[in-house]
Each structure stands twice: as C-alpha cells, then as structure tokens.
C-alpha cells in the first residue's frame, strides 16, 4: 500500500511555478511539512483509514528518498531502513513519525494497539510517554496527566521520566491558565485550576531533587500573586526564599513576599499584623539586596508603613475618645506621639492631648 501511494505521488504532475512543500503551523509550536499537491492529503487520510480497517499500522508518506544514521563505531553515516509495519520496533517508530507530523490522533490509535500487543516490551515506557505527549498536544490534558503519572510511578528510572515531569509542568500551566479538561468520561469539559496546583505540589514534594521543584514553587507563588490572593502568595514566596536561597529568583521571592504582606493589609480599621509582617520582610530584603532596595524605594515604603501604623494607633485613640473612655484614649494618643514622632498622626495626637490638658513636646519624644 505504501508503494502504491508513493507511485501515485511520483506520478502527480508537477509545475516549476509551484512550491513542492509548505509548512503548516500548529498552536503547539510544531510544524508538519505537508506536500503542496492538493490530492496528497486526501490520499494520506484514505491510507490511514484503510490501514486501520485492515488492522495494519498506517505509515506516513516519505519526505526523503533515504534516511542516514551516524554509526559511532565505524564513524560513518549509514542508510537507515524504513520502519517495518507490523513489528514491535517498526510500529513504535512509525508512531514517532506521525508525532513529528503533528498527527496526534493517529499516534494515540497506533500506540493504544501497540501497548496491547507488546505489554512486556523494553520500549513500553517510551510508548507510554509518546501517547501521553500526543494527548497533551491535542489538548486532552486529563489523558496526558494519567499517562505521565503512569510513567513516573511505574518507570521512575526511565530516561523518559524527566520528560514526563516537563509534560506535567505544561499541564499544570494550562490548568492554571484556565484551560478545560475532560470530565465524566468526556461528557463535559471543566476548568481545573486546583488540579494544576496539585500537580505542582506533587512535583515539589516528590521530585525535590529536580529543577521542577523550585520551578513549581515559584509558579504557584506567581499564580496566587497574579490572582490577588496575597496571603497565599506571601506564604509561597516565603517558602521559595527559604528553600532556595541560592536561586537566581531569590531576590524576587523576598521582594514579592514583602509586597504580598503589605497588600494583605485591609486598612486601619483592621488588624495590623500584615503591616508588621511587611515591615520585617522589606527589612530582610534591604539587608540582603541593599542596592536593589534603594533603587526600588524600599526605605520610602518602610516610612509609609510606619506612618500607616501611626494612623491606626491614632484611629484607636479617636474611637475611645468618641466613646468617652478617656483613659484609653489618652494612652493611645501618647503612644502615637511616642512611637511615631514626626508623622502627621503624631502631630494630631499631640494637639488632642494639649486640648485635654496634657501637652507633649513632640521634638523631645523618642521612638
């Protein structure tokens, strides 16, 4: 059948004004080089359907007359025979060819049959990886995740294990970006951002000796930060800074942990613990990266934090003042002046104390 297809292709009329091939782009970043002639895609599709009906493995049309492989022993290039359909190695190599052409559905069909036929093959892990990758490229993230997990759990020492982790990270990214996956046997498609977080947590916990552990931790922190979940973002950035102090992103983690803490503060009517945490984190950042901190006006940010804390203390004093609890009011007015001298809140508190008959010299106050 392949010979007949090649014969038909060879006999197809060619004109010098038409290009022999064109590249068809895919969203996944792969390119499939399909012959330009309009009849070939029909012939190729027919070939696949006929071969599947007959139980044979469909083979893609040849792009080149021959393939060469370098032999390290003889240090020469030798002609590589084409894969033989119907054999263990041949069918898997053919699946690879279809994968290179971005024909992912065909790859999955071939490998499904191959796994049933050769369950004890030494190339079984490779087949599982190829099928999972084909599912990933065609957007079936649930099936891809299942395949990669099978590979990681059953063949952890396989040369394809690290590639499976790379695939898992891509799936997590897609889930966090809001891409949908199949559910209920493919009856519905759902968003699964929590599933993306679970994949990253699995990488961090069980594959801590790989580059995907710190990458997963930072990705998770960035995800919460971008969504405005600042309390979670602060925790995740703090973990990253603590666990990976030599990382090139350590300064970013410290800085964003501080900003996340500051962004968690809801206003002077609420608890100030977020402000205190932000102050500590900005101070830590300034100690370890002083030049960067100055460029990013961290000293100014620290002054603003203290001024906000003064405003909060003054607000408490005003509350007690309005409710006629003057003992408590005087205490917080005095604290505002003593702890945060030089702030607008301290000046206002001193004025109110003077009205109450307790003048305070702000210039003599110490923090």
Q: Is residue 310 in a domain?
A: yes
Give the pLDDT confidence of 158-190 residue by residue, as tens digits: 999 999 999 999 999 999 999 888 776 666 677
pLDDT (0 to 100) of residue 23: 34
Number of domains in the chain: 1
What are the residues facing 71 on neighbouring strands? 76
The pLDDT of 136-155, averaged and rounded, is 96
CA angle 32, 37, 41 (to 5 degrees): 55
Q: Which has the closest alpha carbon to 151: 114, 123, 116, 187?
A: 123
Q: Is residue 329 in a domain?
A: yes
Q: Is residue 361 in a domain?
A: yes
Residue 188 DSSP class: E
Sign of CA pseudo-dihedral 255, 260, 263, 266: negative
The pLDDT of 358-364, averaged and rounded, is 64
pLDDT (0 to 100) of residue 49: 55
Which residues, including other chains, have CB under 8 Å from residue 74's CB and lie 6 or more apart?
Answer: none
pLDDT averaged over the chain? 85
Q: Is residue 282 in a domain?
A: no
Where do runs of H (alpha helix) occur along the chain? 2-11, 38-54, 88-100, 104-117, 124-137, 141-154, 161-176, 193-206, 212-227, 230-243, 250-263, 273-288, 290-295, 298-322, 326-339, 344-355
Higher pLDDT, 17 or 317: 317
What are the residues facing 78 on neighbouring strands? 69
Q: Is residue 313 in a domain?
A: yes
pLDDT (0 to 100) of residue 10: 45
Q: Rounded CA gap, 50 and 89, in Å? A: 22
The pLDDT of 292-316, averaged and rounded, is 97
Residue 296 pLDDT > 70: yes
Q: Which domain holds residue 318?
A: 297-367
pLDDT (0 to 100) of residue 185: 67
pLDDT (0 to 100) of residue 56: 67
Q: Is residue 355 in a domain?
A: yes
The pLDDT of 65-80, averaged and rounded, is 78
The pLDDT of 231-256, averaged and rounded, is 97
pLDDT (0 to 100) of residue 361: 64
3-class secondary structure, 76: strand
Distances (CA, A) of 218 to 65, 205, 215: 48, 14, 5
Q: Is residue 356 in a domain?
A: yes
The pLDDT of 36-62, averaged and rounded, is 56
pLDDT (0 to 100) of residue 63: 60
Q: Which has the closest alpha carbon to 260: 290, 237, 283, 244?
A: 237
3-class secondary structure, 260: helix
Residue 34 pLDDT > 80: no
Q: Is residue 113 in a domain?
A: no
The number of angstroms, rounded, from the C-alpha of 37 to the middle of its chain's C-alpha atoms is 40
Report the 10 Å Cβ neighbour count for 191: 14
């Amino acid at each position: 059948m392949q010979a007949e297809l090649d014969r038909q292709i060879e006999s197809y009329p060619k004109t010098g004004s038409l290009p022999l091939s064109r590249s068809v782009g895919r969203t996944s970043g792969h390119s499939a080089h399909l012959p330009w002639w309009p009849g070939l895609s029909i012939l190729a599709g027919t070939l696949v359907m006929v071969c599947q009906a007959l139980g044979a493995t469909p083979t893609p049309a040849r792009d080149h007359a021959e393939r060469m492989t370098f032999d390290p022993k003889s240090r020469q290039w030798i002609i590589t025979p084409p894969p033989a359909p119907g054999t263990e190695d041949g069918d898997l190599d053919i699946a690879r060819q279809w994968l290179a052409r971005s024909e992912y559905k065909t790859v999955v069909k071939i490998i499904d049959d191959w796994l049933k036929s050769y369950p004890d093959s030494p190339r079984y892990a490779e087949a599982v990886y190829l099928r999972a990758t084909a599912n990933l490229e065609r957007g079936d993230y649930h099936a891809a995740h299942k395949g990669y997990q099978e590979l990681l759990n059953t063949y952890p020492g396989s040369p394809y294990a690290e590639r499976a982790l790379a695939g898992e990270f891509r799936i997590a990214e897609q889930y966090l970006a809001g891409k949908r996956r199949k559910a209920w046997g493919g009856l519905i498609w759902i968003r699964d951002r929590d599933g993306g977080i679970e994949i990253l947590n699995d990488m961090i916990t069980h594959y801590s000796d790989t580059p995907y552990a710190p990458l997963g931790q930072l990705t998770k922190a960035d995800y919460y930060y971008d969504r405005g979940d600042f309390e979670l973002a602060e925790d995740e950035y703090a973990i990253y800074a603590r666990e990976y102090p030599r990382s090139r992103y350590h300064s970013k983690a410290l800085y964003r942990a501080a900003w996340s803490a500051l962004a968690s503060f809801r206003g002077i009517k609420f608890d100030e613990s977020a402000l205190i945490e932000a102050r500590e984190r900005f101070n830590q950042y300034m100690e370890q990266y002083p030049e960067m901190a100055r460029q990013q006006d961290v000293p100014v940010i620290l002054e603003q934090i203290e001024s906000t804390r003064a405003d909060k203390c003054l607000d408490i004093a005003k509350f007690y003042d309005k409710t006629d609890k003057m003992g408590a009011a005087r205490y917080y007015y005095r604290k505002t002046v003593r702890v945060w001298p030089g702030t607008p809140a301290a000046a206002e508190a001193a004025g109110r104390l003077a009205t109450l008959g307790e003048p305070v010299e702000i210039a003599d106050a110490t923090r």
